[in-house]
Structure 1
Amino acid sequence: MTEGESTAVGEAGTEGSRTRLWVERSLRPGDRIRAVVRLRGGWTSRMRRLDVEGNGERYSLVLRSFVKPFYVRHARGLLTREADILRLLADTGVPAARLHAVDATAEHCDHPSLLMSLLPGTLRLTGEDREDIERTTQLLARQLVAIHALSVPEGARPRAYEAWTGPERVRLPGSLSRPDVWRRAVDVIRRPPPAHRSRFLHRDFHPGNVLFSGTGAGLAVTGVVDWVETSWGPADLDVAHCSTALALLHGVPAGMSLAKHYVAAGGTLAEEPADHLYWRILDALAFAPDAEKVAEPWRELGRHDLTPAVLTERLEAYLQALFESYG
């Protein structure tokens, strides 16, 4: 996330705001919200940084609120799951926020909301050069390996993963330069899901949900955000999702390199190329026809080059590269 405009009370509201009162009730006695800064880069939620002051100390929290009707309807499950996951991650080495409070049904707030600590760092969606992109991709792979290595007791495991598309639900682009590639891709996911060993998945792990600090050799992951889709399923699926996003952001070579770095960092993927291909294609087709869902926040953060035509072209080229490598 990156910062936008600052206001005196912003999303936390005016003096009569239910959300602001709820937030301040969760603070230490005497602490008050002094400023609110919109955080750009979110798609599902309205994100605000709340600057808090009290007893001579200043600190910041993040307020996540669902305002879009679809997400309001599903907020109970999404925010309750995220709250549970943040509690689970609190005693691990995964750099996740600390939960402060949650109102998943808007019982006390204007909208379903979750309050958490502010993580350091910023998003890196541009890539200064190919070497910079490669370094970022290596760090993403290592972080995924660490997430998948978490040992989670059976009773604390998240829900089983859900596929975000299927052969009958795929929406193909209106204009296809390689219709054979798209037809072949849809055919790949007509088979039943391959047998797999399930692990703890972020499920929406991509550069838009990872914070970094430093530059060059000092570049490091400082935070992983957005745990509402956390699931139990194959590691290949998390690798697939991040790979697709990298291909859309930076081109096919970036999307194809993540799996290599993941294995080099100690991760384990499907032994059979056809099985790994299934998960990669399943994820990629969920972005069709033009990846507008992810492109909107990316363009808000400065990636104006990611037009629907560019994204469709990259997605098609990525599908072709997957067949060349695993098909």
Structure 2
Amino acid sequence: MRKFIVAVLSASCIVILYFTVSTLVQVFAFDLSTPAVAEEQQKGYRLVLITLEQDTPFWEKVELGAASAAKQNGASLEVWGTYGANRDDFLKNIEIAIASKVDGIIVQGLDTDEFKNLTKIRAASNGIPIITVANDVPMNESLRRTYVGSDHLKAGEMIARQLVSDMGFSGEVVLMVSDRQEFFQRSRLTGILNVLGQYRNIETKIVASGDSRENVAEATNQVLNDAPGAQAFIAVAANHARSIIQEIGKRRQVSNLFIYSFDDSPETLTLLQEGKLDALIMQAPERMGEESVSLMVKWLRGELVPLNPDGYFTEMRVMRAEEAS
């Protein structure tokens, strides 16, 4: 009897070991970079575009381009956004999209631990691909498939070259940044410093200006006290440009300074037309929306695997005040 029990237990162990090893082989043999494509599901994917700033003209253009590409590819697209840049609601929308088991998520990158945990752990473990659009997050920190948008490092270099062309090879330049810099802002700043650092007679001063209009105005007023001889300002965060210019205008002639920013929003375009900004970087938000959806569908269909981890950069150009007036 004892021999019989031992034999049964041994056989059971062998069977369990077989299935365990078999399962492990299947798991490790599975290429995580390749989508599982069912023959019957060549179209009709459910995609979600999630933004933090839905009520801005920039993101309205991204949505327009994404909707057009979704229609062309036979995919359904839902746009979920927040108003007033509510980060909690933004992150909750990502959670809901993952729980809903959508086929793909296209999302404005947010450089926070909460965002990275959602994309790197929750979305990846559910097999849902993520593409960041307009604002990126490093791939190794987020496991996003790719990024579609401007090359912000290059954008910083472009605006810095324009500044040097206008101001010359010497002077003091103030770089106004947010207290909490997103990855795209850090990239812009690096690009600016890469160029300005080549000129030993150009001095740069980096000023953290907060995020509210009041904080930006206060920081600008302080830097005017600390650096009265500054000849140029760059608003690295475009939504700070008006507050910076308004505060400068209370104490100095804005026209006597060189002032630059990014993003062709209605507000910054108005400042450019008024001659209060010397130049800004024009982006292509509609193209960002189109390409992000197109790439997502191609990946889901297995037509483009893997996607370029470095991203797909859309067009940019420097627009000067003379062109806008």
Q: Does TM, normalized by the shorter one, top 0.5?
A: no
Q: Which of the five TM-score ranges fits, normalised by the shorter chain?
A: under 0.3
Compare the two structures and name the one with the higher helix fraction: 2
Higher RCO, Cα 8 Å, sep 6+? 2
Task: With the length of structure 1 as denominator, give the TM-score of the two structures.
Answer: 0.27
